[in-house]
Structures are given as structure tokens and as C-alpha cells.
Chain A
Amino acid sequence: GAGVSQSPSNKVTEKGKDVELRCDPISGHTALYWYRQSLGQGLEFLIYFQGNSAPDKSGLPSDRFSAERTGGSVSTLTIQRTQQEDSAVYLCASRPRGLGSGELFFGEGSRLTVL
């Protein structure tokens, strides 16, 4: 597809289980972001990948959260030992080189519910 693709679109898990969320950015986009959006809230930055540079992990809320980006394309966000407060929509965005650093293209998000 032409847009940012995220999977799964919905994930229900039990507290304590690990989850993996996947993001396929737009082809050729060098920058990739993960955000978290809780109900009725703005977006909370989690992590940023740019090319081969070291990722900006400054937004990850705890060491249970990690992300990787393989081959400069697909990214996986992993949440270990999920807690109920992890329930949120996790949004991925990408951006091509040359655009303003705030001009992002978002996927539809992965809605995570931790029971």
C-alpha cells in the first residue's frame, strides 16, 4: 500500500504478557517514529529512528518498552510484561528526507488493551 501500515490493528492481551507491534513505513521514508495516544489525550513521543543513526529513545516510559528497525524499513515496538496502564493506541509515523521534521505521515495505529 501507499501509506504507513501497522499491525495488528487491535490487540487484547493479559497483564504480564509480552506484545509486539509492527510498522511498515512508506517506502523510501528515512525517518520513523512511534507515539502513544491514550484516550482523549494528545500524542506522547516514544522513539525515533533516522537512517543509520542511533535512535532517540528519550520517550520510552520504562525499560519494558523497546523498539528496533531492521534494514532501515520495518520497525517493531515490543512491550514486555504488559500492564493495564499500557492500554492505548500506538501510532507509527514516517517522514521522507527533505520534509520539515514535524511533517509526519501516520499509520492507523494499533489499539492495545491489557486486561
Chain B
Amino acid sequence: GQQLNQSPQSMFIQEGEDVSMNCTSSSIFNTWLWYKQDPGEGPVLLIALYKAGELTSNGRLTAQFGITRKDSFLNISASIPSDVGIYFCAGQPTSNYQLIWGAGTKLIIKP
């Protein structure tokens, strides 16, 4: 089946640093979404993208829908301790197709 390649698998950063992670697909997607999951919780939607080239911000988070429609990235600026968690990308080839999920990027902030 279709898969998303999400990288990096994990990131160790200092508080205040900027973070970047991305997802790629072998096929075209019509929708890209980014979720965050805290320990013991379900994923929470951060940003949804619906148009190729779309760049959307949500506070310190910025995500882009790649122009080729086969990739997306998420940036976090000036990281803070509450940013720790696992970030998942998810995408849909069409709107009536179930979401396909990346394996997640675990963000860890070094004390």
C-alpha cells in the first residue's frame, strides 16, 4: 500500500532552536495534515493543507504543501519545552481515501 516517509525519526534540540521535519510520498496527495501526540494522549491536529504550494502558520508552527504534491514540511520556530512530543504527518490521495500516516518524528528538548 501507499506509504509516507517521515524524517527525521527523532530530534534532540536545545530550547530556543528552530526545528524542521518533512514527509514525502511516492504518489500525489490532495491533502496534507500535521498532528502532534503527547504521551498518553491521542493526536491533535496542528495544521491542515489543501492546495499545492500552500504555506500555513499556526503560532510558531509553519507547514507547507509541496508544489509537486508529493511532500510537506513542518517548521517550529524558537522551540519551548511544551513542544516535546511526537509529530505525525498524514495525507490523502483524494478526499474520500482514508488517511495515510507517517511513522512520526519524536522531538526531545535537551535540558
Which residues from chain A sit less than 8 Å from chain B, CB to CB? 4, 40-45, 48, 56, 58-59, 91, 93, 100-109
B104 interface residue per 8 A CB criterion: yes
Spell out B's residues near A (CB within 8 Å).
Answer: 4, 6, 31, 33, 40-45, 48, 50, 88, 90-92, 95-96, 98-99, 101-104
**Residue in A93, A102, A103, A105 whose Cβ sees the most chain B Cβ within 10 Å:** A102
Partner of A4, one of B42, B88, B90: B42
CB neighbours (8 Å) of A93 from chain B are: 42
Cα distance A102–B100 in the bound complex, in angstroms: 10
B42 near A102 (CB under 8 angstroms)? no
Given A91-B42, A91-B43: 15 more A-B contacts, CB < 8 Å: A42-B4, A42-B104, A56-B98, A59-B98, A100-B48, A101-B31, A102-B33, A102-B99, A103-B48, A105-B45, A106-B41, A106-B43, A106-B44, A107-B42, A109-B41
